[in-house]
Structure 1
Amino acid sequence: MRSLLLDTVTWDLALDTSGSIAVASNPYAMAQDAACAIRTYQGEVYYNTADGVPYRDQILGQQVPLSLVRAYLEAAALTVPGVVQAQAFFTRFEGRRLSGQVQITDRTGALSAASF
């Protein structure tokens, strides 16, 4: 699987050394796609409104345990084709901003991680 490489800070397209849009390959591409799934609000995907994390309905504006948030994020990561295991780790929870890392295992057993 290949995916457009996203800058880890801005989460925008990145360029390669020749100035072209950079492409990520597995296993990182799969981890990056899992991080994208974690960043997706449920209802945001036009062609499948069931995709994404129920941030608006179940998380934002409520006092939910971080274990429940982790379960939602890991479930979203598992929707990426080829991902068989996902673990979400929180690195910062400051104000209203949550940051972390998702670590995935693919069908071949390869491990990879991406920040969200």
Structure 2
Amino acid sequence: MTVRKLDDNGDIVTRGQQFLGGKEEIAQTVMTRLRLFLGEYFRDITDGTPWYEQILGKFASLSAAEAALRARIANTPGVIRLTSFSADFDINARRYSVTAGILTAFGLEEVTLDG
């Protein structure tokens, strides 16, 4: 499988190398899946990361929020398993960051989402 490459702003790259394959493709797919909010995609409102429902706001427990993120990453096509996972919530700066190491058929890759 090959995906269109996205630039740093999330826009589709239209010049130069326009497609990704291998572990870079899987890492970009993980990031895209994490950035998709639950119910945001009109063709499948059951798909997405439950940011408002389970992670941000008044969640029941931090472990449940981390479990939702782990499941979202682990269920990405091409991910064999998580090798590491770290989530940091800074209440003062109102920032949530996730760093995960993933094992793919193409090797190890690390993804980081700062939000």
TM more than 0.5: yes
Structure 2: gaps spanning 5 or more residues: none
Unaligned residue ranges in structure 1 (runs of 5+): none
| Pairing of 1:3-42 with structure 2 (within 5 A) | 3-8=3-8, 10-14=9-13, 19-20=15-16, 22-42=18-38
Report 1 or 2 for greater relative contact order, CA contacts < 8 Å, sequence distance ≥ 6.
Answer: 1
2:112 paired residue number: 115
What CA deviation, in whole Å up to 9, does each residue of 1:54-92 have, x standing for no partner?
222222221554433221111111232221213432367
The 1:56/1:2 distance shift into structure 2, 3 A limit, reads same
Question: Deviations along 1:27-64, whole A, 9 cap, x unmatched?
Answer: 11101101211121111122222211222222222155
Given the two structures, how large is their TM-score scaled by the length of structure 2? 0.74
For 1:59 and 1:100, the matched residues in 2 are separated by: 12
Paired residue total:
111
Relative distance call for 1:91 and 1:54 in structure 2 (3 A) is closer
1:81 aligns with 2:80: no
Contact 1:35 1:102 in 2 (8 A): no
> Percent identity over the alignment?
26
Any conservation in 1 of the 2:39–2:46 contact (CA below 8 Å)?
A: yes
RMSD: 2.5
Partner of 1:43: 39
TM-score (norm. length: structure 1): 0.73
